[in-house]
């Protein structure tokens, strides 16, 4: 076996490789299911935030957190339920002092409310909701852009900078 006379440095080898290749100008549109293992032709940037509005992260009641301060199991705070909100339904009423709105997970937070009291921390008697545990502002609330903020590079955020699925 003959000895090697000289070796190419790593940096020079990388430079030689980069000079020998060029980016492809060819693009095609494919279904998402066929996109695995491919390279994006351009950045995918979110044009809106997900979620787009504040939403409930739990089933319960949309409240003004300050209305629950001091609540306890043996001294619950009474609130009047003014509306029932399901996921996908827009609120029609504003939550005022001493009021709340029943809300499902994913429901849009009504104006005036700043927290969700989970249903397990309440008792109900008609429209009177008895809150047995205090909450704090933004408790159990998903804020706009929590999953995907507007203007973020979506693909990089969701699958990483290497583009691996």
What distance in Å separates the CA atoms of residue 157 and residue 84, rounded to the nearest whole number? 35
What is the rounded average pLDDT for all residues in the chain?
89
Backbone phi and psi for residue 107, each to the nearest 5 degrees, phi listed first: -70, 150
Q: In this structure, how many other beta carbons lie within 10 angstroms of the beta carbon of residue 125?
A: 8
Whole-model pTM: value is 0.70
- Residue 162 has a pLDDT of 52
pLDDT for res 157: 44
Q: What is the pLDDT of residue 39?
A: 77
- Give pLDDT, residue 42: 79
Confidence of residue 147 (pLDDT cuts 50, 70, 90): confident
Does the pLDDT of residue 73 top 80, yes or no? yes
Q: Where in the chain is the domain with CATH 2.170.190.11?
A: 55-142
> Could you count the other beta carbons within 10 Å of the beta carbon of residue 32?
7
Average pLDDT over residues 80-101: 95
Which pLDDT belongs to residue 161? 52
User: Would you state the pLDDT for residue 158?
Assistant: 45
Section 23-30 average pLDDT: 84
Over 80: is that where the pLDDT of 12 sits?
Answer: yes
**pLDDT at residue 160 above 70?**
no
Give the pLDDT score at 5: 74
CA–CA distance, 130 with 21 (Å, rounded to integer): 69
CATH topology of domain 55-142: Molybdopterin biosynthesis moeA protein; domain 3 (2.170.190)
Task: Give the Cα-Cα-Cα angle 142, 147, 152 (nearest 5 degrees).
Answer: 135
The pLDDT score that the predictor gives to residue 11 is 94
């Amino acid at each position: 076996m003959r000895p090697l006379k000289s070796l190419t440095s790593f940096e020079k080898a990388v430079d030689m490789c980069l000079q020998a290749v060029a980016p492809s100008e060819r693009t095609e549109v494919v279904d998402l299911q066929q996109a695995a293992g491919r390279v994006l032709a351009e950045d995918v940037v979110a044009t809106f935030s997900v979620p787009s509005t504040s939403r409930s992260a739990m089933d319960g009641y949309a409240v003004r957190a300050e209305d629950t301060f001091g609540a306890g199991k043996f001294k619950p705070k009474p609130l009047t339920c003014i509306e029932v909100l399901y996921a996908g339904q827009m609120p029609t009423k504003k939550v005022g002092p001493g009021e709340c709105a029943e809300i499902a997970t994913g429901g849009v937070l009504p104006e005036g409310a700043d927290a969700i009291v989970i249903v397990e921390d309440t008792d109900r008697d008609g429209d009177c909701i008895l809150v047995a545990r205090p909450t704090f502002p933004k408790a159990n609330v998903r804020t706009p852009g929590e999953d995907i903020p507007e203007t973020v590079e979506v693909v990089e955020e969701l699958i990483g900078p290497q583009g691996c699925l």
